[in-house]
Amino acid sequence: MKKTKQRKSILTILSLIIMVFFGSNVISQEMTGKQIVKKADQLQRGETNEGEMSMTIIRPKWERTITLKSWSMGTDYSMTYITSPAKDKGQVFLKRENEMWNWVPTISRMIKIPPSMMSQGWMGSDYSNDDILKESSIVVDYTHKVTGSEPVAGLECYKIELTPKEDAAVVWGKVVKWISKDEFWQLKTEYFDEDNDLMRTEVASDVKQFSDRKLPSKLEIIPADKPGQKTVVNIISSKFNVKLDEGFFSQQNMKRIH
């Protein structure tokens, strides 16, 4: 009888220890805002990436569609080749660390995009040169705070506020992201200026299988103060962790790529 009681006591103590250990372990494993944003960014980017997409620029009185191929490696290297329309076909954009270049075959010129052009829309879209050049800043140039939990398109999301670090050279005064809890998809992003006025909203949708992962295939970029205006990006194909090296992202290769 005594042995049975002792066994029960030992089992009870062991159960309590296990509950305390695993309970505290779950708490310790709760992800920080930065970890969530980093995981979502890595999921979308991969170590390397090769893809095709279309970009439709919509204005109240007209719209145009650009198709392109793209390659990227980490956050420092990317190349974009315009495949249509005919008047833009063959243009190539290269990003190497903090510099951006444009090869224009019709005039056989290599143009360095200066800081004064960073805020201009890329190819006339609502996506700026600055967005392309500083896309890595989402992780390194901001502090990240989980402010709550909200559903977007029926999926429960972390709501995360990104505040620029004091010495960060970024254009936004604040960024708010909604990242799905299960899949880490960036479903919605709001961009604010230094006066805390909403400037732009990005909404992702239409999840598809790409290579080894599922991701939203459609992104709508909607300016807050320009009714009837937006840019819609549709990912046609995307391959992750393809074989690329730093030498691929060169000015010489810009003239040969197709």
Binned at pLDDT 50, 70 and 90, residue 9 comes out as: low
Q: Which amino acid is at 149?
A: S
Bigger pLDDT: 106 vs 5: 106
> In the CATH scheme, what architecture does the domain 33-254 have?
Clam (2.50)
List, in sequence order, the alpha helices (H) in the chain.
Answer: 2-28, 33-45, 129-133, 137-140, 251-254
User: How many other CB atoms are found less than 10 A from the CB of residue 13?
Assistant: 10
163-190 per-position pLDDT tens digit: 999 887 777 899 999 999 999 999 999 9
The predicted structure's pLDDT at residue 98:
79
Tokens of 109: 């010129």
Is the whole-model pTM more than 0.85?
Answer: no
Residue 95 has pLDDT above 70, yes or no: yes
Residue 7 has pLDDT above 80, yes or no: no
Q: Report the b/e string of 193-231 with b at 16+ CB within 10 A.
A: eeeeeeebbbbbeebeebbeeebbbebbbbbeeeeeebb
Could you tell me if 207 and 214 are in contact, meaning their C-beta atoms sit under 8 angstroms apart? yes
Q: Which of 66-80, 96-110, 201-215 has the highest mean pLDDT?
A: 201-215
Phi, psi of 62 (to 5 degrees): -160, 165
Going from N- to C-terminal start, the domains of the chain cover 33-254
C-alpha dihedral sign at 120, 126, 132, 135: positive
User: How many other CB atoms are found less than 10 A from the CB of residue 81?
Assistant: 20
